[in-house]
Amino acid sequence: MKPGLIIRLVVLALLVAFIITPTSFAWVFQPLTRNGQPPIYVQNSLLNLTISHLTIVAIATIASTLLAVGLAILVTRPFGAEFLPLSRSLANIGQTFPPVAVLALAVPVLGFGTAPTLVALFLYGLLPIFENALTGLTTLPPAVTEAARGVGMTDRQRLLDVELPLATPVILAGIRLSVVISVATATIGSTVAASTLGEVIIAGLLSNNLAFIAQGGLVVGVMAVLIYDALSALERALMARTGQRRLQS
């Protein structure tokens, strides 16, 4: 087993242990407290906050992926090419408006809670997935697509059996970027009463408790790194299967 993998597994084990039994690690965060402050956030279950955080990220990413890949497929078909500028503008909306601004606009319509956070993450995740899906579908080896036409495959068969499988590693690279961004950005959802790990960080800021801020930021940061590494490994495996070179990102 490679040393890098061993380190990641150890870090994952420590992360899971901390999330399940955070009070066991009180001694780690005790030096960051002062005047008798509690070293561990116990107002809410860290496990529940983590599950809720990841669930929000997963739902937003799935929705972003479905729309972004759907738009990429549309604009790479002859009948949909004219919609490319409009699709690119739609994908850019999330990058044009910061997530905080989206939350501010969404709360009056959707109310406080998870919904505004989902909208913000959904919009923010569109661009990297759309651009990578577009790249993956427009840079396919011509010989492969011509061979598919030569054997009599229909447009639908070429898309499902040839184009999407070949483009999947590139699309996954966009999903990887979107997920990592969302894991970090989801913390702001707690400002509008969404149940995320941002609750721990905000509690630390309000009470001037550095231990709360550190543990909230640490869990989010480690999760982002581990998810990034896992998706990168999956991307490399898919690239190896299709004989493609991995995109640098």
pLDDT at 248: 46
- Which residue intervals of 76-141 are DSSP H helices? 84-91, 93-96, 99-110, 114-138
Per-residue pLDDT at 240: 77
Residue-level pLDDT at 1:
66
Tell me: pLDDT of 244 over 70: no
What average pLDDT does the structure give for the chain? Answer: 88
Tell me: pLDDT of 159 over 90. Answer: no
Picking from 135, 139, 138, 101, the residue whose alpha carbon sits closest to that of residue 120 is 101
User: Per-residue confidence at 46, pLDDT binned at 50, 70, 90?
Assistant: very high
What pLDDT is stored for residue 245 in this prediction?
55
Find which of 5-9, 28-32, 231-235 is predicted with most confidence, using mean pLDDT: 28-32
52-69 residue pLDDT tens: 999 999 999 999 999 999
Residue 79 has pLDDT above 90, yes or no: no
Angle (CA) 11-239-158 rounded to 5° is 135
Q: Is the pLDDT of residue 90 over 90?
A: no
- In the CATH hierarchy, which top-level class contains the domain 45-242? mainly alpha
Question: For 10-24, b where at least 16 C-beta lie within 10 A, e where not — what string?
Answer: eeeeebeebbeebee
Percent of residues, the chain, with pLDDT higher than 70: 96
CB-based contact 176:217 (threshold 8 Å): no
**Which of 78-82, 106-110, 180-184, 242-246 tops mean pLDDT?**
180-184
Report whether pLDDT(6) > 80: yes
Mean pLDDT of all residues in 124-152 = 86
Q: Is pLDDT larger for residue 157 or for residue 179?
A: 179
Alpha helices in the chain (DSSP H): 3-20, 26-29, 46-75, 84-91, 93-96, 99-110, 114-138, 142-150, 155-158, 164-185, 198-207, 210-242
